Structure 1
Amino acid sequence: MEISRAVLTAAVVFAISGCATSPNGAEAPGPQNTQACVAASEADIASLFDRWNSSLQTGNPRAVAANYAENSVLLATLSNKPRTTREEQIDYFEHFLANKPSGKINSRTIKIDCNTAIDIGLYTFTLGKTGQEAKARYTFTYKWDGKQWLITTQHSSFMPEKE
């Protein structure tokens, strides 16, 4: 019996993702698939930025770092150093939070897959300490850890052109 290329490709994708079911509920082949795909809407994923932004308002770098998965990567706007450990992320936020930042999404695109999601777009940070605004591009990637969505990568960089 011949298997179509599309069916084979889908099987490989599900096997690699570690999901037992596809986003449409179809069973994925393979013995290593033990986790079902959690249902998530764009609003669910958008709320993760709000959760992160609210943690900034606490002024507590550990509260902010709690949004990140183990082995996550933070490529922050105000640092040349990739932050790949919890301690490095806390260190970054200790300095960043001193500026009393608050973010606002200007535009976004959200993509959702089996237990992963991407929120990518443009945001503006207001630094409460000085009132200065900083416009930047961002990408947050998230993964469902079986209990909650956590940031696996964050990249933020200043806009390259002045408006």
Structure 2
Amino acid sequence: MRISVDGPSVVFAMVAVVAHGSAFARSEACHPTSEKQISALFDRWNDSLKTGDPQKVVANYAPNSILLPTVSNKPRLTADEKLDYFKHFLENKPVGTIDFRDIMIECNTAIDSGLYTFKFADGSVVKARYTFTYAWNGHKWLITSHHSSKMPEGN
């Protein structure tokens, strides 16, 4: 859908913004959080990996989230697609550790980006970049997007 604005309608929109504050003002209350609480969300996700149960891993993701996984070329949009990915990913018992991170917190959203390492039961190791974005759903923090990619220069 394309909306065209010109002439008097633009002036009206500008007056409305000035009169009522930012056009993007939020009416929701911001859930208080800290870097420590956001970093603990990775631990929650990693602990769900350790269970070996893909349902528990997928429970960390918001219904309309996206997973761009480490060892698959296919974006995972639905819970079923995420379950399929984690069913195979969990077969070799991955355990992740954070090597470097940067956390940014906004009103009811947070971004945790950095580098992590996965160690697997067969002794293999995958170093990767990651970004988790989170949103507060009124009850708990959920992953809204998760991007992970192997380091391009190897280990």
TM-score by length of 2: 0.85
> Which residue of 2 is the match for residue 79 of structure 1?
72
> Which residue of 1 is the match for residue 6 of structure 2?
none
> Which residue of 2 is the match for residue 39 of structure 1?
32
**How far apart are the structure 2 equivalents of 1:50 and 1:12?**
37
Per the alignment, in what secondary structure is the counterpart of residue 23 of structure 2?
A: helix
Per the alignment, in what secondary structure is the counterpart of residue 126 of structure 2?
A: strand
Aligned match of 2:146 in 121, 142, 154? 154
What residue ranges of structure 2 are gaps of 5+ in the alignment? Answer: 1-16
Aligned match of 2:23 in 3, 12, 20? 12
Whether contact under 8 Å (2:46, 2:95) holds in the other structure is yes
Whether contact under 8 Å (2:127, 2:154) holds in the other structure is no
- The CA RMSD measured in Å over matched residues stands at 1.5
State whether structure 2 residue 147 is matched by structure 1 residue 136.
Answer: no
State whether structure 2 residue 65 is matched by structure 1 residue 54.
Answer: no
Q: CA deviation at 1:12?
A: 3.4
Q: CA deviation at 1:99?
A: 1.0
**How far apart are the structure 1 equivalents of 2:130 and 2:54?**
20
State how 1:111-130 maps to structure 2 within 5 Å.
Answer: 111-128=104-121, 130=122
**How far apart are the structure 1 equivalents of 2:50 and 2:30?**
32
Aligned match of 2:95 in 96, 99, 102? 102
Per the alignment, in what secondary structure is the counterpart of residue 108 of structure 1?
A: strand
Question: Which residue identity is paired with 1:78?
Answer: V
Question: Which residue identity is paired with 2:73?
Answer: N
Whether contact under 8 Å (2:48, 2:57) holds in the other structure is yes
Whether contact under 8 Å (2:70, 2:147) holds in the other structure is yes
Q: Which has the larger radius of gyration?
A: 2
**How far apart are the structure 2 equivalents of 1:65 and 1:135?**
22
> How many pairs are equivalent?
137
Q: CA deviation at 1:11?
A: 2.5
Per the alignment, in what secondary structure is the counterpart of residue 118 of structure 1?
A: strand
Deviations 1:73-102 (A, max 9, x none): 000011111000000001100000001000
